[in-house]
Structure 1
Amino acid sequence: MRDDHAERFPAEALATLDAWGYRALQVPEEYGGRLTSLEELSAIGRVVAGRDPAVTLIANSPLGAAMPVWLAGSTAQRRAVADAVLGGAWVALGITERAHGADLLASETTVRRDGDGYLVDGEKWLINNAGRARYVCLLARHPDRTGMRSLSFVLMDLAALPPTAYTVLPRITTHGMRAAQIAGIRFHGARVPAGALIGRPGSGLELAAAALAITRTLVPALSLGVLETALRCCTAFLRDRRLYGGAATDIPYVREELAAALVDLRAAEAVARACVRAPHLLPDLVPVTSAVTKYLVPRTVEDRMRQLAVVLGSRSYLREGHWSGLFEKLRRDVTLFGLFDGSEPVVLSALTAQASCLDAPADPRRADALFTPEAVTGPLFGHATGPFAEDDPVTAGTAEACAALARHTADPVLTGAAGALRAAGERVRAEAADALDPRSLAGQQFADRYARLFAATCVARTALAAGETPPWLGPGLLALLEPGRRMPRERAAALWDDVLAHTATGSGARAGTGTAEHPAAPAAALARGGEAR
């Protein structure tokens, strides 16, 4: 909180993570790191995010920024970046420009052939760690090319450039993530060797799409740590808050809202986990899974944070007091997870473009591995991911999942959710046959329904794969399919003990020297996460 108030780079927190070995998770195992599983990284990163979202944003930036190198870089480029990151250096990603935003083809930064090398000119904007980076993966335009093949990524080694070749622009102030160092970089005829291009000349646009698909998969899972801490923060305060002759948590509305937050957390966990396994197990579906999780998980977290703020009342607005005013910071910071690597309209447009995959026949068994309890590891960047998914084996199993859920007649909420899921599947498949403009309102609305169908199917198939139908499952499915619908009061009351158990023992729970005002550091949780594989 002191770093946040001072808008100060969180050097102490990052040094603690470095000492634990977090940097090794930013480099694939074959290049000297210990990254073998995005699922493992997201689980550990979520613990860090629960302590400070700004720290997790910075700590995971070397992997995300260097993604073009891991996907298409030469062996020499990969080794150079790996050695730098493991040695304590930072990597930055320069894609967007102030005047063009997500319109990458309008990029004005250029890379021109000059003898046996290239000259780079232009400015990139909104770059995390801009002033601290050793390497920048820069998207630039070839002036002699037009269209889809006019862009390339260039690996800029700032340590090898003269000081006159580039300027780090003044830091940009933000509402949240105040400890992060976000700025821009301008290059002035910076000369780089021919080997600085990443991948084939002209492959920048497809490489950017592939890189963003991976980071859009990882970032949403980190936001779950924010909701988890917010739920603990609110529950701890409200259990001690005396109102109307009893604890605030004796009020039915308060219990219902806290139970709804736990339901949202559980459902979003299942969605994020299934999608973060896709790059390992079903890379051809990543164009869909990355868009679904990037849109729906941060949105679920943000919506629930707003409701928790209502329950917490004035304490949600204070920068001091209960847990040092942490909730106010969490609520500010969490909004960046939804903006990072593509805002909602951008991601929904990308998902609408995948609609044709719903028309193709698909074997639902092909997606079974996304939902099994066993952890996954394996090559991350050896699979070619195309721009479009050929089919959708996840929602191909929707009807089967609905039939299995409907057999649980002892739980009327669950059987009702099964019916809602079946109806959603029928509607989305019927709409997918229409030609939809991804940028139109109708296209965006279709993408929202498709994302909710896909996510709810992930939740259902995950529960069925584990052989469990917990009491939160029905409300969790309905919350995804029919946002804003309140769960039955009796179900919320039945979930109250689960809320108390989770807020007492969740990852990063108070232990050791922690107090109600200051939760202890998550060293034990980090250690457990590090041993997960």
Structure 2
Amino acid sequence: MSTARPPAEHPAAPHPAPHPAGQPDRQPAGYRDAGEPERAARLEAALGDPFDPANPHGHRALLHADDARAVPEATEALLAGAGLAAEFVPHHLGGRLRDLEQLARVLRPLFRRDLALGYGFGITSLFAASAVWTAGDPRQQQALARVLLGGGRVSIVHREVAHANAILRHELTALREPGGGFVLNGRKDAVINAATADAFVAYARTSPKDGPASHSVLLLGPQPPARGELRRLARIETPGMRGAHFSGLELRDVAVPEDAVVGSVGDGVPLALRSFQISHCLIPGTVLAGVDSVLRQAVRAATDNRPDGQPARRGRRALAGVFADLLACDAMAVTGLRALSLVPRDAYLLAAAVKYTMPDLLREDLEELATVLGARGYDRGPFAGGYEKLARDLPVAGLGHSGTAVCQAVLVPQLSTLARTTWFRNDEPPDGLFTPGAPLPAFEHRNLAHFGTQDLLTATLVAAAARLQAQPGPGPLHQALAHLAGLFVEELRTLRARCIALAASGHAAFDPQACALADRYALVLAAAACLGIWEGQAAADTFLARPAWAVLALGRIGRRLGAPVPPTPPQADAEVLAEVLERCRQGRSLDLYGTHLAG
């Protein structure tokens, strides 16, 4: 849909360039590649060494574009040539989207370098299109697939919610016309890619009454409206993601036909609750790659000019601790992404918990890394400087307090039901939930549900703790892990009693006490995801199969809860620190996969 600019010329979408000559085909001894998608490796190679000052897609170039509030055009051209948009189109419509976990891995090379690029050129189109993939009719799906596969972009026009920021403030209204169809009016202050989008997926108010049937989803474009004016307003400056293009959008008496409605009239809120599960898991699963880069820069800062290659004592705990947190966050994100394929009708609460928990953990990790980086955190690249940019970008990526409020609205009303009917009663989820990289059934958007009180992870926590107690492993780390798992089971028992008591007291669902309990519940799920991933690696001879990282990760989560966590065994800190240093020396990612990087 384009009324204020000429049609874009969309480039062809060849495959990314192959691996450069000389890149090793084999991973280091003891490494398990967990099915690294070839597309991810090719994109990583095509983007090149981010620490090379002459690389047009490296940290220095991207930081300079951020300073200038400019879109990094050379890198966008590379991504267009790689046909990245095909990653966001389901395979049955001609795209490459079959597996959300693989999609996150394909996008991590991009987010490892620049969140604004990952959003502006990347997943915004998927988040917009997800409602159409979930409930659209074949004609709508095919039209949107043609836009994306042709190199175009799709943007999302959110409805207004409480605690709104610029992205969520104001909304569109759609009034029925006597002869059929709707007339849209309204404006939004900040819509990403509003100036260049070929189509919009708009959440518009179709009923004056508040409630679950107040809004509908409308597909606008790619053809211009038959009547009315769609105005693309001036660009606005955002404090974070300065290289992304946000601008206003105003609709004046824009006529759209009846068949522009995605799903049914009044489906807007339920459809958002279904399709937003994808963003709830995919955002954390990609933005943690940015923290991976900052941690790598902190390791470099801490080890430069050190004759033994070891960081000073004051930095060791921070480096090991942040690495353990990254693995914990990845455990939760990957579990959520896999759940959307394996158990899509039961993933609703888990997806909200992933998005609710991880932004705060990653923000705390950045603050901890600042103590290691010192003044280097404000360099302008290529070897440091990503810290300052990421600290600005993360709040925009997570929609700030608004994103938290949306996830609270999912979790808090379910706590009392979970406490009465699910915790300590439900069965463990399928084993495949905790095996990163293992094959998944093709993801099907239409299977997503927005109801239910199935809790996928508390059963894993209880069962894993029981197995650790029944068969304690050798050495102090296994004993420490068994003790920590028991602490989280006791935390779940306390949560159950408090949630039942709160419901019996007649307090409102969003009483501050209930929100605090949701905080604690989400952290318990993070601990459960760590235990699930650790157990899932039992047959492998890898770092993740050993207990050190899980001990350190669970200890840090427990301290956030204020639980009586004993001091971490020095062996755990030492093993985790050794792993993060070794991965940095080998040029491997600091996530669950440990894949080779371009630099």
Pairs aligned (count): 509
Q: CA RMSD in A?
A: 2.8
2:217 corresponds to 1:157: no
The whole-number CA distance in structure 1 between the counterparts of 2:468 and 2:587 is 28
Match of 2:338 in 1: 277
Asked if 1 retains the 8 angstrom alpha-carbon contact of 2:199 and 2:219, the reply is: yes
Match of 1:429 in 2: 496
Match of 1:413 in 2: 480
Residues 8 and 317 (structure 1 numbering): CA distance in 2 closer, same or farther, change over 3 Å?
same
Q: Percent identity?
A: 29
Deviation track 1:116-175 (CA, whole Å, cap 9, x = no partner) reads 322111112332111111111111122566533221111111641379611122222112
Deviation track 1:198-240 (CA, whole Å, cap 9, x = no partner) reads 1111111111221222211111111210111111111112211
Kindly state the Cα deviation for residue 96 of structure 1 after the two structures are TM-superposed: 3.6
TM-score relative to the length of structure 2: 0.79
Residues 178 and 303 (structure 1 numbering): CA distance in 2 closer, same or farther, change over 3 Å?
same
Deviation track 1:400-457 (CA, whole Å, cap 9, x = no partner) reads 1112234235224323312222212212222232326443221111011110111111
Asked if 1 retains the 8 angstrom alpha-carbon contact of 2:227 and 2:255, the reply is: no
Residues 43 and 461 (structure 1 numbering): CA distance in 2 closer, same or farther, change over 3 Å?
same
Asked if 1 retains the 8 angstrom alpha-carbon contact of 2:161 and 2:169, the reply is: no
Structural mapping, 1:22-421, within 5 Å: 22-58=84-120, 59-97=122-160, 101=164, 109-114=172-177, 115-143=179-207, 147-157=211-221, 159-161=223-225, 165-241=229-305, 249-318=310-379, 320=380, 323=383, 325-339=385-399, 342-355=402-415, 356-361=417-422, 362-373=425-436, 374-386=438-450, 388-406=451-469, 407-408=472-473, 410=475, 411=477, 412-421=479-488
Deviation track 1:62-85 (CA, whole Å, cap 9, x = no partner) reads 111111111111110000000001
Asked if 2 retains the 8 angstrom alpha-carbon contact of 1:151 and 1:205, the reply is: yes
2:524 corresponds to 1:470: no
Match of 1:513 in 2: none
Match of 1:499 in 2: 580
**Which of 78, 82, 86 is residue 16 of structure 1 equivalent to?**
78
SS at match of 1:120: strand
Match of 1:446 in 2: 517
Residues 218 and 324 (structure 1 numbering): CA distance in 2 closer, same or farther, change over 3 Å?
same
Asked if 1 retains the 8 angstrom alpha-carbon contact of 2:226 and 2:255, the reply is: no
**Counterpart amino acid of residue 31 in structure 1:** L
Deviates more, 1:57-66 or 1:117-126: 117-126
The whole-number CA distance in structure 2 between the counterparts of 1:405 and 1:135 is 53
Kindly state the Cα deviation for residue 86 of structure 1 after the two structures are TM-superposed: 0.8
Q: Unaligned regions of 5+ residues in structure 1, if any?
A: 510-522, 527-533
**Counterpart amino acid of residue 387 in structure 2:** F
Kindly state the Cα deviation for residue 490 of structure 1 after the two structures are TM-superposed: 4.5
SS at match of 1:323: coil
Deviation track 1:269-328 (CA, whole Å, cap 9, x = no partner) reads 11111011111111223221111110222221111111101111111133x255262332
Kindly state the Cα deviation for residue 97 of structure 1 after the two structures are TM-superposed: 4.1
Kindly state the Cα deviation for residue 195 of structure 1 after the two structures are TM-superposed: 0.8
The whole-number CA distance in structure 2 between the counterparts of 1:96 and 1:144 is 14
Asked if 2 retains the 8 angstrom alpha-carbon contact of 1:171 and 1:182, the reply is: yes
Match of 2:10 in 1: none
Kindly state the Cα deviation for residue 505 of structure 1 after the two structures are TM-superposed: 3.4
The whole-number CA distance in structure 1 between the counterparts of 2:537 and 2:569 is 25
Bigger fraction of residues in helix: 1
Kindly state the Cα deviation for residue 247 of structure 1 after the two structures are TM-superposed: 7.2
Asked if 2 retains the 8 angstrom alpha-carbon contact of 1:96 and 1:125, the reply is: no
The whole-number CA distance in structure 2 between the counterparts of 1:128 and 1:323 is 29
Deviation track 1:233-260 (CA, whole Å, cap 9, x = no partner) reads 1111221146xxx679442121111111
SS at match of 2:295: helix
Asked if 2 retains the 8 angstrom alpha-carbon contact of 1:284 and 1:390, the reply is: no
SS at match of 2:220: strand
Asked if 1 retains the 8 angstrom alpha-carbon contact of 2:167 and 2:190, the reply is: no
The whole-number CA distance in structure 2 between the counterparts of 1:57 and 1:187 is 24
Kindly state the Cα deviation for residue 56 of structure 1 after the two structures are TM-superposed: 1.0
The whole-number CA distance in structure 2 between the counterparts of 1:103 and 1:6 is 21
Asked if 2 retains the 8 angstrom alpha-carbon contact of 1:120 and 1:189, the reply is: yes
TM-score relative to the length of structure 1: 0.88
